[in-house]
Amino acid sequence: MSSLPEARPIELSAGTSVLGSELEPITLAVHEAGPVGGPAVVLCHGFPELAYSWRHQLEALAEAGFRAIAPDMRGYGQSDRPEAVEAYALDHLMGDMARLLDALEIERAVFAGHDWGGFVVWGMPIAYPDRTAGVIGVNTPYSPFPRTSVLRQLFADDEKLYILWFQRPGIAEAILDRDPRLLFEKLMRGGAAPEQTLAERAGSEDAMDANPFRRLGELPELGVPLLSAAELGVYVSAYEESGFRGGINWYRNIDRNADTFPQIGVQQLELPCLMVTAEWDAALPPSAAQGMPALCTDLETKMIEACGHWTQQDKPDELNAILVDWLKRRFA
């Protein structure tokens, strides 16, 4: 099990977002490794995860001479969890990353993001171009935000798609908070071949049900468990303390994000970009990144075979090799 340096609280000063909204002071729990003077790489996790999800990468990047920085994003783990749903809009999330650089006295960084963290990092060169040296998407492609109105054209019943189910305050978190262990035991597993996934769907009462979170107890256990007992305990302890509300609030801002940042996923990016896809990620398949070459003038794309959604923990050695190779060639 890779070790993770102990987190230290970093207080972010009040400020103003790129949209002109007030950014309240907030404290993030931040894990760091590597030389302070090395090129900075900020690692942004997704849902339902923690900075801990980057433990294998933090160690590898530090050994390669980079200053690796992994925060518990707002709403997660040991970081602050504001009450207002609007406090989790994208301008606040990106504002946190810019203010984190200020607090650490870093001028520019490469931002790497997985899952929801991917949406944050792909927005950074648009919102904070002077602070963004490069972008790495892990599973998450550079694309516009989905709108709930469009998703409802595909799923008439909100309960059948987790993103829509998450929109109703108090519902999802009340269910998930009851048993965090069950969630991580069922979902944080290695990738399953498409034929296994299709077979599981064929045996389901509703093949269009894309909401595993409300039926965790019924889910078959596809793929091998990714977490040891000790690693599982880290996630369970963190979510027993924080609950899931903060992370779910990120989803409750997707329409606001689409309205306020329509250029994300449309505007051309002219900085070094790396897109790492995972062959067996059903939520963010490699095909979702097919349009990126037309939008990114300096793009490299790599696919990790037989890898599911939790790439950093499913295929850590393969991901580390890709990250270190690209970062050394472009930023060492």
Active site residues: 115, 309
Instruction: For 201-253, give the DSSP string.
Output: HHTSS-TT-B-GGGGGGG----S-B---HHHHHHHHHHHHHH-SHHHHHHHTT
Bridge partners (DSSP) of residue 69 are 32, 42
What is the 3-class SS of 132-153, one letter each residue?
A: EEEEEEECCCCCCCCCHHHHHH
Rg of the Cα atoms in the chain: 19
The tokens of 305 are what? 């075979």
- For 139, residues 6+ apart whose C-beta sits below 8 A from its C-beta are 114, 115, 118, 276, 277, 278, 281, 283, 284, 309, 311
302 DSSP 8-state letter? E
Measure the CA–CA gap between 8 and 237, rounded to whole angstroms: 18
- In the three-class reduction of DSSP (H, G, I as helix; E, B as strand; rest coil), residue 318 is classed as helix
Please state, as a whole number, how many other Cβ atoms lie within 10 Å of the Cβ of residue 18. 17
Would you say 61 and 327 are in contact if contact means Cβ atoms under 8 Å apart?
yes
Bridge partners (DSSP) of residue 26 are 12
